[in-house]
Each structure stands twice: as structure tokens, then as C-alpha cells.
């Protein structure tokens, strides 16, 4: 009985091993057999087909604005072909892109792994560096700065600033007595001329990496403006010089700009706040108005002087007429007195006198003419 059990176990073991061997052979034969075409060929093709890729030129490390690309700054990287832009450098179309980009400059800051495009790479062989950095329709203009007017030297290329004008306003007053502008008063005034102006360079530095911003304080900031704003900033510099003022740069918060403009931050344009051209025209008009008032005042004073001259002439004529009349009256009175005296003398009884004479009237005055005999003359 015991031997039967052992025989059964032995047969079971051999059967199990045979089953395992058959199963292993079946698995291996199934693995080596060709894949059968599925009933849904579209689904099978989608599951098996891999996405198409293409090599794109990317930055091998961070490259700042204005920096020159070297061969170590770029490399090829595989990208899904569906995510590749027409502006990217792709290897099948431009296999020598690394050599072409080497020596060019970066228009903006490029981060590691970011694809390079024709909009971000500037060919320095065709134009100057600054001309390449300018956006279409924009101009570059210089603004004098110092450690006080340039935010202590912390303004760097790529920042956005406001341009502020500080000056002395002169107020002219017309003297009502003389008609001249003989009194002026001054007071200081500060106005924001432009907002959101992009800084292109500080002195000759086009990026933060070209110098130590903590120790190198520039004297000139090159900013990006429209053609009309270039004229405006030139006028602002002249006004600042003429009116004992200065221009300042006020650094704007980049976080604030991102919150306000979001994805459009690269399209920010400078905005004019104070139209100095209009102020200059108003000042010219004010000067013309004061000149007109002065001329009218002078004419009025000249008319008053002429009237006064006529009055004095008339007064002099009146006085002369009165003097002539008074002299005539005096002469008339004297003549009347003389005539009266003559009449009185003729009417009075003649007195006995040893001397004989006649009374004559000459020029209104009586004259007595006497005759003297020779005997009297001899005695005398």
C-alpha cells in the first residue's frame, strides 16, 4: 500500500514537470511568433507609432541681454515637431546654425533650455549693437544721470523708468507805473515727463553682467523713445539747462509691470505725460501777451504825455494872453490918467510966474515948455 502511494506521487510529479515544460514552450513560441493584425488597425497604429521629433537649437546656459553667443552657449535638443515654431533654428533646415549664431548678440535674456529664434538673435555684422536692440519704429536717446538722478546707480539695462523734470518756474510781473516787466518771482516745480521708458544701456553697458552695478555708477542712460518723444526729451534737456533744473530717472517695479501688462510686457511703449511743447508754446504766447500789454501801456502813456503837453501849451497861451491884456489895461489906465491930468491942468487958473511956458502932451504924459528971457539967463 505504501509503495502504491509513492508511485502515485512520482507520477504526479512527472505530470507536473511535463505540464510546466509544455507551458514554457508555449510561452516562448508565442513570444517569438509575429504580431497578429488587430481587428482595429487604427487603434493599433496609434498605440505603436512614436511622436515625430526634430532637433532645435537651444541655450546651453543663461544668456543676458546684449551678450555675445559663443559655441558653448548653444546646443541641439530634441523637441516634438508639433511644438516647433517657424522662427526656431532647426537642424534639418540649418545644420550650421551653431556657427551662424556664434558671435551674434542676444536681444533679450535667454534662459537655459530655451529655444533660440531669429527674433532673439542679433546679427552684429549687419548693423550696430544699439540699432539692433531697438524695436521697430523706435529711437535711442541719451539722458544725463548721476548717482542722485539715476536711483543711486541701481538702474540697469532692460529696466523701465519714468523721466522726471525738476526746474525753476519764473513768473514775470508788469509794473503799472513804468509799463516794464521789472519784477520776477521763482519757485521750484517737478513734473513727470514720460512713463514706462525702457533703458537700453547705461554708459557703454548693454547688460547687467558687463559691470558691477554696485560700484559702477553711469553718467548717461540710453533710453528707447518714439521720434516725437526724442524731440520732447531734447526740449526737456534744454529747459532743464535754461531754468537751472535737471532730469531724473525713477525706477519702476517690474512686479507692478507684470501685473499690469502680463504677457504684453515686451510690447510696453513709453507714454508722454507732460507735453513740454505745449508749455513752451504757452510761454511764448504769455511773452507775446506781456509784450502787447507793455506796448499798449507805452502808447497810453505817450498819449497821456501828448495831452499833457497840449494842456501846458494851452495854459502858456492863456497866460500870455492874460499878460498882454493886463499890459494893455495898464497902458490904457495910464493914458486915461494922463489925459485927466492934462484936462485938470488946463482947467485950473493960471498962476503968476516969472517964467512963461506951454504944456504939451507927449505919449500920454504932460510936458511943460518954458521960455527964458535973455536977462534971466544972464543972471543965472
pLDDT at 218: 75
In a domain, 68, yes or no: yes
Cβ–Cβ < 8 Å for 105, 129: yes
Is 336 domain-assigned?
yes
pTM of the model: 0.49
pLDDT at residue number 379: 44
| Beta-carbon contacts of residue 350 (< 8 Å; ≥ 6 apart) | none
Rounded Cα distance between 118 and 274, Å, is 37
Please give the pLDDT value at position 76.
93
Say what the pLDDT of residue 36 is. 47
* DSSP bridge partners of 249: 163
| 356 domain residue, yes or no | no
pLDDT at 197 over 90: yes
Is it the case that residue 62 has pLDDT exceeding 60?
yes
Q: Is residue 22 part of a domain?
A: no
**How far apart are alpha carbons 170 and 286 in whole angstroms?**
12
Q: Which residues span the domain enclosing 188? A: 136-274
Residues 209 and 81 in one domain: no
Cα-to-chain-centroid distance, residue 300: 41
pLDDT band of residue 85 (cuts 50, 70, 90) is confident
For the cut 70, the answer to whether the pLDDT of residue 33 exceeds it is: no
pLDDT given at position 358: 62
Residue 112: inside a domain, yes or no? yes
Q: Which helix (H) or strand (E) holds 275?
A: none
Q: Which residues, 6+ apart, have CB-to-CB distance to 240 below 8 Å?
A: 165, 166, 167, 246, 247
pLDDT score recorded for residue 109: 81
Express as a percent the part of the chain with pLDDT over 70: 69
- Highest mean pLDDT pick, 21-35, 146-160, 252-266, 312-326: 312-326
- Choose the most confident range, by mean pLDDT, from 32-41, 190-199, 279-288, 371-380: 190-199
State the Cα–Cα distance between residues 11 and 17, nearest whole angstrom: 10
How does the average pLDDT of the chain come out, rounded?
Answer: 77
80 and 208 co-located in one domain = no
Give me the number of domains the chain comprises: 3
Amino acid at each position: 500500500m505504501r509503495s502504491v502511494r509513492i508511485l502515485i506521487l512520482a507520477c504526479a510529479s512527472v505530470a507536473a514537470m511535463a505540464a510546466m515544460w509544455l507551458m514554457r514552450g508555449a510561452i516562448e513560441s508565442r513570444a517569438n511568433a509575429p504580431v497578429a493584425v488587430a481587428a482595429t488597425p487604427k487603434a493599433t497604429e496609434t498605440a505603436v507609432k512614436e511622436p515625430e521629433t526634430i532637433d532645435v537649437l537651444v541655450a546651453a546656459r543663461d544668456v543676458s541681454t546684449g551678450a555675445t553667443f559663443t559655441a558653448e552657449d548653444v546646443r541641439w535638443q530634441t523637441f516634438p515637431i508639433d511644438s516647433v515654431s517657424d522662427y526656431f533654428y532647426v537642424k534639418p533646415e540649418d545644420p550650421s546654425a551653431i556657427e551662424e549664431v556664434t558671435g551674434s548678440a542676444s536681444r533679450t535674456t535667454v534662459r537655459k533650455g530655451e529655444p533660440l529664434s531669429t527674433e532673439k538673435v542679433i546679427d552684429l555684422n549687419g548693423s550696430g549693437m544699439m540699432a539692433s536692440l531697438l524695436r521697430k519704429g523706435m529711437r535711442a536717446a541719451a539722458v544725463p544721470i548721476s548717482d542722485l538722478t539715476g536711483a543711486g546707480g541701481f538702474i540697469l539695462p532692460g529696466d523701465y523708468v519714468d523721466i522726471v523734470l525738476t526746474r525753476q518756474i519764473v513768473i514775470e510781473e508788469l509794473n503799472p507805473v513804468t509799463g516794464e516787466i521789472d519784477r520776477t518771482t521763482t519757485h521750484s516745480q517737478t513734473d513727470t515727463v514720460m512713463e514706462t521708458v525702457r533703458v537700453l544701456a547705461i554708459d557703454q553697458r548693454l547688460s547687467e553682467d558687463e559691470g558691477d552695478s554696485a560700484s559702477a555708477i553711469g553718467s548717461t542712460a540710453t533710453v528707447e523713445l518714439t521720434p516725437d518723444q526724442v524731440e520732447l526729451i531734447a526740449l526737456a534737456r534744454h529747459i532743464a539747462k535754461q531754468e537751472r533744473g535737471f532730469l531724473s530717472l525713477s525706477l519702476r517695479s517690474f512686479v507692478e509691470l507684470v501685473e499690469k501688462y502680463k504677457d504684453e510686457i515686451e510690447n510696453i511703449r513709453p507714454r508722454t505725460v507732460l507735453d513740454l511743447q505745449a508749455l513752451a508754446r504757452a510761454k511764448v504766447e504769455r511773452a507775446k501777451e506781456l509784450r502787447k500789454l507793455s506796448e499798449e501801456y507805452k502808447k497810453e502813456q505817450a498819449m497821456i504825455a501828448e495831452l499833457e503837453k497840449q494842456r501846458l501849451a494851452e495854459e502858456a497861451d492863456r497866460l500870455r494872453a492874460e499878460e498882454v491884456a493886463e499890459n494893455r489895461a495898464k497902458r490904457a489906465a495910464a493914458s486915461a490918467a494922463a489925459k485927466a491930468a492934462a484936462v485938470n491942468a488946463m482947467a485950473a487958473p493960471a498962476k503968476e510966474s516969472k517964467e512963461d511956458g506951454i504944456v504939451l502932451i507927449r505919449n500920454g504924459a504932460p510936458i511943460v515948455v518954458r521960455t527964458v528971457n535973455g536977462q534971466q539967463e544972464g543972471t543965472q
